[in-house]
Amino acid sequence: MKTLIIILIIASFMQTTILPIDLVLLILICRSYIKSDSANLYLAFFFGIFTSHLNLASIGFQSLIYLSLVEVTEILSKLRLAGNPLLIVPLTFFLITISQFANSILDHSSFEFSKVILACILSLPILFLVRLWEERFVIQKEIKLKM
């Protein structure tokens, strides 16, 4: 979990300075698609506040967007179709479009569809990286050695 927090901090700095996409939201969507727990909601709330602070935007709105989209992802990940990893692309398209639309209304800026397309392209590699990290390097409590 500590490594994920460090990765999200680096991603939020990259998102506010270099990259034109919402990288933190993309990582949170991929993680909540793989693993459904309450830590995703805590991460969404605190990193929503952190990215809105870095973007000099209204503090609570970004965290509400992150919380609602992570909750929608957790609900949709319990469906039977969620076993297919290619489902993350249309899911990301839908959720990032909602996020961009809400941000464009609040910031009084134009809706940039290129950010949505770029996030959809990056969603599948990020999903595989997060899945690799969660399966290989995170210690689970259910594993017990037999003696």
pLDDT block averages, 10 residues each, the chain of length 147: 91 92 94 92 96 90 95 92 88 94 89 92 94 82 67
Paired tokens of 6: 């460090």
Q: What is the pLDDT of residue 7?
A: 93
26 neighbors 100 (Cβ within 8 angstroms): no
Q: What is the pLDDT of residue 138?
A: 76
Q: What is the pLDDT of residue 145?
A: 64
Q: pTM of the full predicted structure?
A: 0.89
Q: Which helix (H) or strand (E) holds 141?
A: none
116 neighbors 100 (Cβ within 8 angstroms): yes
Q: What is the pLDDT of residue 90?
A: 94
Q: What is the pLDDT of residue 32?
A: 94
The closest alpha carbon to 100, from 130, 86, 120, belongs to 120
If phi over 0 gives left and psi between -120 and 50 gives alpha, with beta otherwise, what is residue 138? Answer: beta
